[in-house]
Amino acid sequence: MITYTIDRIWPYLAVSLASVSGTVYILSFVGRQFKTVGYLCQLLGEQYGFVRTKYHVGYEIGEDGSATVKTMEALKSINAPIQGVEHYTAVLTSLEDTLGKFRVSLSERYSGTSNIKVLPKLILSTPNRLYFQLLFEPSIMVGKELEYVYEVNNPPSTFVRSQEELVKRGLPYDYISMKIAYPTEEFAMKITFPLGLDIDQVSFDVWMGDARLRLDKEYQRLKNGAALIVRRQGQNQIAELVVKYPILDLKYAVTWRPVLISGG
Protein backbone atom coordinates (compact mmCIF):
# COMPACT_ATOMS: atom_id res chain seq x y z
CA MET A 1 0.00 0.00 0.00
CA ILE A 2 1.24 3.49 -0.86
CA THR A 3 0.34 6.34 1.46
CA TYR A 4 0.56 10.01 0.42
CA THR A 5 0.87 12.77 2.95
CA ILE A 6 -0.67 16.22 2.37
CA ASP A 7 2.72 17.82 1.82
CA ARG A 8 3.32 15.44 -1.07
CA ILE A 9 -0.13 15.84 -2.57
CA TRP A 10 -0.37 19.64 -2.28
CA PRO A 11 1.96 20.58 -5.19
CA TYR A 12 -0.02 18.37 -7.58
CA LEU A 13 -3.31 19.64 -6.17
CA ALA A 14 -2.19 23.26 -6.59
CA VAL A 15 -1.20 22.64 -10.21
CA SER A 16 -4.55 20.95 -10.88
CA LEU A 17 -6.51 23.79 -9.29
CA ALA A 18 -4.54 26.36 -11.25
CA SER A 19 -5.21 24.40 -14.44
CA VAL A 20 -8.94 24.23 -13.71
CA SER A 21 -9.04 27.93 -12.84
CA GLY A 22 -7.25 28.81 -16.05
CA THR A 23 -9.61 26.67 -18.10
CA VAL A 24 -12.66 28.28 -16.47
CA TYR A 25 -11.24 31.74 -17.20
CA ILE A 26 -10.56 30.87 -20.83
CA LEU A 27 -14.03 29.39 -21.27
CA SER A 28 -15.65 32.44 -19.67
CA PHE A 29 -13.61 34.73 -21.94
CA VAL A 30 -14.55 32.72 -25.01
CA GLY A 31 -18.17 32.73 -23.89
CA ARG A 32 -18.15 36.50 -23.58
CA GLN A 33 -16.49 36.81 -26.98
CA PHE A 34 -19.17 34.67 -28.62
CA LYS A 35 -21.84 37.00 -27.25
CA THR A 36 -20.40 40.20 -28.76
CA VAL A 37 -21.81 41.91 -31.84
CA GLY A 38 -18.29 42.03 -33.25
CA TYR A 39 -18.04 38.25 -33.16
CA LEU A 40 -21.51 37.97 -34.70
CA CYS A 41 -20.36 40.16 -37.61
CA GLN A 42 -17.26 38.00 -38.06
CA LEU A 43 -19.31 34.80 -38.02
CA LEU A 44 -21.84 36.14 -40.54
CA GLY A 45 -18.98 37.37 -42.72
CA GLU A 46 -17.69 33.81 -42.91
CA GLN A 47 -21.11 32.66 -44.07
CA TYR A 48 -21.66 35.48 -46.59
CA GLY A 49 -18.09 35.31 -47.81
CA PHE A 50 -17.48 39.03 -47.23
CA VAL A 51 -17.94 41.90 -44.79
CA ARG A 52 -18.75 45.53 -45.40
CA THR A 53 -16.05 47.32 -43.43
CA LYS A 54 -17.61 50.77 -43.97
CA TYR A 55 -21.12 51.91 -44.81
CA HIS A 56 -21.26 55.70 -44.59
CA VAL A 57 -24.38 57.46 -45.87
CA GLY A 58 -24.75 61.23 -46.18
CA TYR A 59 -28.11 62.93 -46.75
CA GLU A 60 -28.28 66.55 -47.89
CA ILE A 61 -31.92 67.61 -47.72
CA GLY A 62 -33.02 70.44 -50.01
CA GLU A 63 -35.46 73.24 -49.26
CA ASP A 64 -38.04 71.54 -51.52
CA GLY A 65 -37.85 68.30 -49.50
CA SER A 66 -35.63 66.55 -52.03
CA ALA A 67 -32.38 64.89 -51.02
CA THR A 68 -29.01 63.99 -52.46
CA VAL A 69 -27.72 60.79 -50.88
CA LYS A 70 -24.03 59.94 -51.16
CA THR A 71 -22.89 56.55 -49.94
CA MET A 72 -19.34 55.39 -49.36
CA GLU A 73 -19.11 51.63 -49.15
CA ALA A 74 -16.10 49.36 -48.60
CA LEU A 75 -16.32 45.60 -49.12
CA LYS A 76 -13.73 43.01 -48.12
CA SER A 77 -13.79 39.47 -49.47
CA ILE A 78 -13.16 36.81 -46.82
CA ASN A 79 -13.48 33.41 -48.47
CA ALA A 80 -15.26 33.89 -51.82
CA PRO A 81 -15.10 36.34 -54.74
CA ILE A 82 -17.69 39.16 -54.61
CA GLN A 83 -19.49 39.58 -57.94
CA GLY A 84 -21.85 42.32 -56.77
CA VAL A 85 -24.29 43.59 -54.15
CA GLU A 86 -27.90 44.75 -54.28
CA HIS A 87 -29.47 47.85 -52.76
CA TYR A 88 -32.90 49.41 -52.57
CA THR A 89 -34.25 52.73 -51.42
CA ALA A 90 -37.80 53.82 -50.77
CA VAL A 91 -39.81 56.95 -49.98
CA LEU A 92 -42.51 56.12 -47.46
CA THR A 93 -43.43 59.70 -46.57
CA SER A 94 -43.85 61.36 -49.96
CA LEU A 95 -47.10 62.84 -51.23
CA GLU A 96 -48.77 61.06 -54.13
CA ASP A 97 -49.05 64.15 -56.31
CA THR A 98 -45.34 65.01 -56.00
CA LEU A 99 -43.75 61.62 -56.47
CA GLY A 100 -40.73 61.60 -58.76
CA LYS A 101 -38.17 59.10 -60.01
CA PHE A 102 -35.02 58.09 -58.26
CA ARG A 103 -31.69 58.40 -60.04
CA VAL A 104 -28.46 56.61 -59.21
CA SER A 105 -24.95 57.52 -60.36
CA LEU A 106 -21.52 56.22 -59.47
CA SER A 107 -18.29 58.01 -58.63
CA GLU A 108 -15.16 56.13 -59.64
CA ARG A 109 -13.41 56.01 -56.29
CA TYR A 110 -11.45 52.84 -55.71
CA SER A 111 -9.04 51.80 -52.99
CA GLY A 112 -5.39 51.60 -53.95
CA THR A 113 -4.68 50.90 -57.60
CA SER A 114 -7.64 48.64 -58.17
CA ASN A 115 -8.78 48.23 -61.76
CA ILE A 116 -12.18 46.90 -60.76
CA LYS A 117 -15.12 48.63 -62.41
CA VAL A 118 -18.32 49.15 -60.43
CA LEU A 119 -21.32 49.00 -62.75
CA PRO A 120 -24.84 50.02 -61.58
CA LYS A 121 -27.64 47.84 -62.94
CA LEU A 122 -31.28 48.87 -62.55
CA ILE A 123 -33.54 46.09 -61.31
CA LEU A 124 -36.83 47.86 -60.62
CA SER A 125 -37.89 51.51 -60.59
CA THR A 126 -41.29 52.75 -59.40
CA PRO A 127 -42.40 56.25 -58.34
CA ASN A 128 -41.36 55.56 -54.76
CA ARG A 129 -38.95 52.62 -54.84
CA LEU A 130 -35.65 51.86 -56.52
CA TYR A 131 -33.90 48.50 -56.64
CA PHE A 132 -30.46 48.32 -58.19
CA GLN A 133 -27.32 46.20 -58.23
CA LEU A 134 -23.69 47.24 -58.15
CA LEU A 135 -21.70 44.70 -60.16
CA PHE A 136 -17.92 44.32 -59.97
CA GLU A 137 -15.83 43.55 -63.06
CA PRO A 138 -13.69 41.65 -62.32
CA SER A 139 -14.92 40.27 -59.01
CA ILE A 140 -13.33 41.30 -55.71
CA MET A 141 -10.98 38.40 -54.99
CA VAL A 142 -10.40 36.71 -51.62
CA GLY A 143 -8.47 38.90 -49.19
CA LYS A 144 -8.99 42.08 -51.25
CA GLU A 145 -11.00 45.18 -50.32
CA LEU A 146 -12.75 47.68 -52.59
CA GLU A 147 -14.06 51.13 -51.66
CA TYR A 148 -16.41 53.13 -53.88
CA VAL A 149 -18.97 55.93 -53.77
CA TYR A 150 -22.42 56.13 -55.33
CA GLU A 151 -25.14 58.75 -55.29
CA VAL A 152 -28.93 58.55 -55.31
CA ASN A 153 -31.16 61.60 -55.89
CA ASN A 154 -34.50 61.61 -54.12
CA PRO A 155 -37.37 63.67 -55.61
CA PRO A 156 -38.97 66.81 -54.12
CA SER A 157 -41.30 66.35 -51.13
CA THR A 158 -39.44 63.26 -50.01
CA PHE A 159 -39.20 64.97 -46.62
CA VAL A 160 -41.67 67.28 -44.94
CA ARG A 161 -40.97 71.00 -44.53
CA SER A 162 -43.49 71.96 -41.87
CA GLN A 163 -45.56 70.55 -39.06
CA GLU A 164 -48.63 70.91 -41.27
CA GLU A 165 -47.15 68.52 -43.83
CA LEU A 166 -46.28 66.10 -41.04
CA VAL A 167 -49.90 66.11 -39.82
CA LYS A 168 -51.19 65.72 -43.39
CA ARG A 169 -49.11 62.57 -43.85
CA GLY A 170 -50.27 61.15 -40.53
CA LEU A 171 -46.77 60.76 -39.13
CA PRO A 172 -45.54 61.43 -35.58
CA TYR A 173 -42.17 62.51 -37.03
CA ASP A 174 -40.14 62.51 -40.21
CA TYR A 175 -37.28 60.05 -40.44
CA ILE A 176 -34.57 58.28 -42.38
CA SER A 177 -34.03 54.57 -41.77
CA MET A 178 -31.36 52.32 -43.25
CA LYS A 179 -31.64 48.54 -43.29
CA ILE A 180 -28.46 46.54 -42.72
CA ALA A 181 -28.49 43.97 -45.53
CA TYR A 182 -24.91 42.64 -45.17
CA PRO A 183 -22.48 41.93 -42.31
CA THR A 184 -21.16 45.42 -41.49
CA GLU A 185 -18.38 46.62 -39.21
CA GLU A 186 -19.26 50.32 -39.15
CA PHE A 187 -22.40 52.16 -40.16
CA ALA A 188 -22.64 55.96 -40.15
CA MET A 189 -25.46 58.24 -41.25
CA LYS A 190 -25.07 62.02 -41.53
CA ILE A 191 -28.07 64.25 -42.25
CA THR A 192 -27.63 67.88 -43.28
CA PHE A 193 -30.89 69.82 -42.96
CA PRO A 194 -31.60 72.77 -45.28
CA LEU A 195 -31.16 76.43 -44.41
CA GLY A 196 -34.21 77.90 -42.75
CA LEU A 197 -35.50 74.58 -41.45
CA ASP A 198 -35.33 74.21 -37.69
CA ILE A 199 -35.77 70.72 -36.33
CA ASP A 200 -36.83 69.53 -32.91
CA GLN A 201 -36.97 66.27 -30.96
CA VAL A 202 -34.08 64.72 -32.92
CA SER A 203 -33.56 61.15 -31.85
CA PHE A 204 -32.54 57.72 -33.09
CA ASP A 205 -34.17 54.33 -33.07
CA VAL A 206 -33.66 50.68 -34.03
CA TRP A 207 -36.53 48.94 -35.77
CA MET A 208 -37.59 45.46 -36.80
CA GLY A 209 -39.50 45.36 -40.08
CA ASP A 210 -41.57 48.14 -41.63
CA ALA A 211 -43.86 48.75 -38.64
CA ARG A 212 -41.17 50.77 -36.79
CA LEU A 213 -41.14 48.34 -33.85
CA ARG A 214 -38.20 49.07 -31.57
CA LEU A 215 -35.69 46.37 -30.64
CA ASP A 216 -34.98 47.53 -27.10
CA LYS A 217 -31.75 45.61 -26.43
CA GLU A 218 -29.99 47.08 -29.45
CA TYR A 219 -31.49 50.49 -28.73
CA GLN A 220 -29.98 50.41 -25.24
CA ARG A 221 -26.57 49.42 -26.64
CA LEU A 222 -26.59 52.50 -28.87
CA LYS A 223 -27.99 54.72 -26.12
CA ASN A 224 -25.22 53.72 -23.72
CA GLY A 225 -22.66 54.46 -26.40
CA ALA A 226 -24.02 57.95 -27.18
CA ALA A 227 -24.36 57.07 -30.86
CA LEU A 228 -26.23 60.24 -31.95
CA ILE A 229 -24.69 63.72 -32.21
CA VAL A 230 -26.70 66.83 -33.16
CA ARG A 231 -24.73 69.98 -33.97
CA ARG A 232 -24.58 73.06 -36.18
CA GLN A 233 -22.29 73.53 -39.15
CA GLY A 234 -22.56 77.16 -40.14
CA GLN A 235 -26.28 77.82 -40.49
CA ASN A 236 -27.17 74.18 -41.11
CA GLN A 237 -28.23 71.68 -38.48
CA ILE A 238 -26.45 68.33 -38.64
CA ALA A 239 -27.43 64.96 -37.15
CA GLU A 240 -24.93 62.10 -37.13
CA LEU A 241 -25.51 58.50 -36.09
CA VAL A 242 -22.55 56.12 -35.79
CA VAL A 243 -22.99 52.40 -35.05
CA LYS A 244 -20.21 49.87 -34.61
CA TYR A 245 -21.24 46.39 -35.75
CA PRO A 246 -24.91 47.03 -36.57
CA ILE A 247 -27.15 43.97 -36.45
CA LEU A 248 -28.02 42.29 -39.73
CA ASP A 249 -31.58 42.92 -41.00
CA LEU A 250 -32.39 45.68 -38.49
CA LYS A 251 -33.22 49.26 -39.47
CA TYR A 252 -31.28 52.11 -37.88
CA ALA A 253 -33.17 55.40 -37.95
CA VAL A 254 -32.87 59.09 -37.15
CA THR A 255 -36.17 60.83 -36.42
CA TRP A 256 -37.09 64.51 -36.10
CA ARG A 257 -39.91 67.05 -36.26
CA PRO A 258 -39.76 70.20 -38.42
CA VAL A 259 -40.34 73.47 -36.59
CA LEU A 260 -40.25 76.35 -39.05
CA ILE A 261 -39.34 77.36 -42.57
CA SER A 262 -37.97 80.90 -42.61
CA GLY A 263 -40.17 83.10 -44.76
CA GLY A 264 -42.65 80.27 -45.20
Whether 253 contacts 228, CB under 8 Å: no
Position with higher pLDDT, 169 vs 48: 48
pLDDT of residue 106: 62
pLDDT of residue 27: 40
CA angle 247, 248, 251 (to 5 degrees): 75
Q: How big is the CA angle at 45 (ends 212 and 90), to the nearest 5 degrees?
A: 30
**Banded model confidence at residue 109, pLDDT cuts 50, 70, 90:** low
3-state secondary structure the chain: CCCCCHHHHHHHHHHHHHHHHHHHHHHHHHHHHHCCHHHHHHHHHHHHCEEEEEEEEEEEECCCCCEEEEEEEEEEECCCCEEEEEEEEECCCCCHHHCCCCEEEEECCCCCCCCCEEEEEEEEEECCEEEEEEEEEEEECCCCEEEEEEEEEECCCCCCCCHHHHHHCCCCCEEEEEECCCCECEEEEEEECCCCEEEEEEEEEEEECCCCEECHHHHHHHHHCCCEEEEEECCEEEEEEEEECCCCCCEEEEEEEEEEECCC
- pLDDT confidence of residue 46: 95
224 and 163 in contact (C-beta within 8 Å)?
Answer: no
Domain boundaries, the chain: 1-35, 37-261
Question: How confident is residue 115, by pLDDT bands cut at 50, 70 and 90?
Answer: confident
Query: What CATH number belongs to 37-261?
Result: 2.60.40
Q: Which tens digit of pLDDT belongs to each residue from 29-70? A: 444 455 789 999 999 999 999 999 999 999 999 998 989 999
Indicate the pTM of the whole model. Answer: 0.80
What is the reported pLDDT for 227? 84
